[in-house]
Structure 1
Amino acid sequence: MNLLELFAQHDTSILIILGIASLFAGFIDAVVGGGGLIQFPAFMILFPNSTIPTAFGTNKIAGLSGTSIAAVQYAKRVKFNWKLLTITAISSFVFSFIGAKLVSNIDVNILKPFIFFMLIAIAVYTFKKKDFGSIQTKKLSANKKYVFGLLLGVIIGFYDGFLGPGTGSFLVLGFVALLGFEFLEASAYAKVINCVTNVSALYVFISQGNYILEIAIIMAVSNVIGSIVGSRMAILRGNTFIRKIFLFVVCVMIIRYGYDVFFS
């Protein structure tokens, strides 16, 4: 069966809606992360009979496509500390793999109340502290940077493999809060790290056959288009624009996790 026959199995309107959702997700993800908060629920609503691992795998394929393009766009503008990036990337890769392996064996709901209240604190702090992420706020020694990078990779890498939605936003937050980066620089680092965690987790899902190829292709193409637009806007409009999108994404995450904790 070729791809055209696979596409023909699905309702055209469903594919269009999913494509639009993925395009918007790619835009948000390129600016500050969190595109999975749009893309993943859209997939689950449109394909309610899919298993959670299949939904994760299909979304990871699309997410990796868009995030890779955004990472290239940012790399042209931001000068990376390659040692810091490598340490964070390796630790996130390993723990994303571990998280993806555990997702089928552990109830993910046990973490949601903690994440919910943490997100509220993040939103309040970011809203009240107007210069948060606007300028570089910390001058850390090289060793401290590497320790914080390692810690960030372990925590966020595991989260991405285990749960996933909002990983890019948590990475941005980590680079701003722990390492004192401005939002634009933090977004650049987050995109590269997110690519690594996606590759690690995606290896697990693909090897288990947990993906729908034709749907992943549509989502990936749409995600890439949104990612190109989003990354260019973030670079042109800078930290103030990224901060606003960050607050928006955090508020969406609060609503999502609040629903899961209190109503689901």
Structure 2
Amino acid sequence: MPKQVLPQAIVTGAGSGIGRAIARRLAHEGFAAIVVDRAAAPADETVRQIRAEGHEARAEILDITDATATQRLVDSAPNLRVLVNNAGIFDVKKFNELTADDFRRMYEVNLIAMFTLCQQAARVLPEGGRIINLASRAAFGARNYAHYAASKAGVAGLTKALALELAAKQITVNAIAPGVIMTDMLLERPDGVAELAAEQPTGKLGKPEHIAHAAAFFASPFAEYVTGQVLIVDGGRSVGGTAAF
């Protein structure tokens, strides 16, 4: 019998954390995961984990700000059905210390690269294709992350605009806005993990798997009538106020 051709899902920034969890979950849901990262070793580890679970995956090493490289990526996925834009950068800097270059770099990676890959993928995604963007609850306001918060607010706006423009092709575009999730990026923050957990209504921090569950929903047939939405996954923190990230 010929080998089954699986629908493909591109997940950027999938070498660790949220991206790795999403790639593993989508592979479990029947997608051939295309694991995209800047570094080979973490991407290869994600692929190893997926294959060890009996699923299909391959790694693609590239910089998402390189439009030529991302076009090659899309061209290499003839059965593409889902694009997950997870890759991004983050740093801590007070507003008065920010420079225009800080803003440009944050937008270049977190928003412009995402726009470019959305555009490239939208040209080949079939009817029923899915685009899932990673925003952040920080978009609603955060101290010492003005450039990051602004870039993620841009992700939310881009998601809604694309949802309208791609609706005629039955391509849904949604975003997930994580709150505080236990990832390597979190550990780079100066705040104590225990203090952060205490600020959450649930009394605990999120796990990458919590975001992966949301991504799996948006990629599933159950979400075919859901588009242009930003799903906040933050343990209820946004209900209690948005004064801090």
TM-score, normalised relative to structure 1: 0.29
* Larger fraction in helix: 1
- What TM-score does the superposition give when structure 2 sets the normalisation length? 0.30
Instruction: Flag the structure with more relative contact order, 1 or 2, with Cα contacts below 8 A and sequence separation at least 6.
Output: 1
